Amino acid sequence: MELDLQPIKLEGVPEERPLIIAGPCSAETEEQVMSTARQLADKGIKIFRAGIWKPRTKPGGFEGIGVEGLAWLKEVKKETGMYVTTEVANAKHVYECLKAGIDILWIGARTTANPFAMQEIADALKGVDVPVLVKNPVNPDLELWIGALERINNAGLKRLGAIHRGFSSYDKKIYRNLPQWHIPIELRRRIPNLPILCDPSHIGGKRELVAPLCQQAMDLGFDGLIVESHCNPDCAWSDAKQQVTPDVLDYILNLLVIRSEHSTTENLNELRRQIDECDNELIEILAKRMRICREIGTFKKEHNMTVLQTGRYNEILDKRGAQGSLCGMDADFVKSVFEAIHEESVRQQIEILNK
């Protein structure tokens, strides 16, 4: 399905890449909101974010200041001239935001994953012309993400954007939410005129990752960034570890290299970046496979079994050789890759047996 879209275009906000939205995870106090907003405005930020209603994983965390905070966002608009944006998760949030003159609404990852909530929000927005940014759902499901955008679009809203904030996974290694860049890249392929912003704060989960993720998003041709920035990040009431001060944000943005999409060397760099990404995934998946092999090693030791089970080994080589050739690779090449993997697995299991 085609979406009927119009550019978000905001007066006074430069149209070139990247569109920047910044502000704290949550509006906490009037002082924190105003101080952060003033500092960001001084750095030239034009769109201010702050969560008013916060979806927390467990009860008892800071669930947002609520309606009271909308007055602070109005004050930010009045004093700094910045546009303001906040998260809406139900019809009541939508009405409150429209009443308060919030300029842009965003839909959080947990809400995008829920078609009932999305439809309720879409219905509440019928006949309203306000830009809406839809975060990806927590689970890596592109159709669900597109479905959420379609619901808003079907309600007549055309100024839409998507925010890539990574995908939840049980295995938290480097990232709080795995980037799985191929998903927003596929979204771009499916809906080319939909602006896509990256949220490095929720992908990384820690401040050191904000700068490299911003750069990566720019290198992948994202249209903008939404970054959590707080006047005193360590004391933030939510997402303290991933927020940066307005000063640090300014530093990060100034160092960003914005490459144009069209020169041939850029295309080459992009392909190489994709290769690096693949290689990273290969190493991660190999490491995971080795961890499982070591578990099998422990099992074999406990049950007095031999490390090498020829039947199983042949089965792997044949099956993967055949699968490889179906995927356009030489079956012998795939077999030799699996021989090398198997050799290392055996070495690791023997280590365990001899411990």
Residues engaged in binding ligand PEP (CB under 6 A): 25, 51, 55, 108-109, 135, 165, 202
Would you say 86 and 51 are in contact if contact means Cβ atoms under 8 Å apart? yes
Residues interacting with Mn ion, by CB under 5 A? 25, 239
Chain residue at closest Cβ approach to Mn ion = 25
What is the nearest approach in angstroms of Mn ion to the Cβ of residue 301?
45
| Closer by beta carbon to ligand PEP, 46 or else 202 | 202
What is the nearest approach in angstroms of ligand PEP to the Cβ of residue 234?
17
Q: Nearest 10 degrees: CA dihedral of 87, 89, 92, 93?
A: 0
How does DSSP classify residue 233?
Answer: G
Phi/psi of residue 66, nearest 5 degrees: 80, -165
Which of ligand PEP, Mn ion, none binds 109 (CB below 5-8 Å, type-dependent)?
Answer: ligand PEP
| Closer by beta carbon to Mn ion, 231 or else 293 | 231
Would you say 63 and 54 are in contact if contact means Cβ atoms under 8 Å apart? yes
CA distance 72 to 28: 10
Would you say 134 and 148 are in contact if contact means Cβ atoms under 8 Å apart? yes
What is the nearest approach in angstroms of ligand PEP to the Cβ of residue 108?
3
What is the nearest approach in angstroms of ligand PEP to the Cβ of residue 152?
16
What is the nearest approach in angstroms of Mn ion to the Cβ of residue 248?
16
| Closer by beta carbon to ligand PEP, 109 or else 132 | 109
| Closer by beta carbon to ligand PEP, 103 or else 270 | 103
Which of ligand PEP, Mn ion, none binds 108 (CB below 5-8 Å, type-dependent)?
Answer: ligand PEP
Which of Mn ion, ligand PEP, none binds 46 (CB below 5-8 Å, type-dependent)?
Answer: none
| Closer by beta carbon to ligand PEP, 55 or else 140 | 55
Which of Mn ion, ligand PEP, none binds 165 (CB below 5-8 Å, type-dependent)?
Answer: ligand PEP
Residue 159, CA atoms < 13 Å, CB-side half-sphere: 15
What is the nearest approach in angstroms of ligand PEP to the Cβ of residue 136?
8
Tokens representing 313?
A: 């080994």
| Closer by beta carbon to ligand PEP, 107 or else 124 | 107
| Closer by beta carbon to Mn ion, 39 or else 243 | 243
Chain residue at closest Cβ approach to ligand PEP = 108
Tokens representing 252?
A: 């990060």
| Closer by beta carbon to ligand PEP, 109 or else 244 | 109
CA distance 103 to 12: 13
What is the nearest approach in angstroms of ligand PEP to the Cβ of residue 228?
7
What is the nearest approach in angstroms of ligand PEP to the Cβ of residue 61?
11
* Residue-wise DSSP of 86-139: EE--SHHHHHHHHHHT-SEEEE-HHHHT-HHHHHHHHHHHTT----EEEEPPSS
Which of Mn ion, ligand PEP, none binds 24 (CB below 5-8 Å, type-dependent)?
Answer: none
Coil/strand/helix, residue 48 = strand
Phi/psi of residue 60, nearest 5 degrees: 100, -20
Q: Which of 99, 39, 98, 47 is nearest to 77 (CA)?
A: 47
CA distance 21 to 32: 17
CA distance 120 to 58: 24
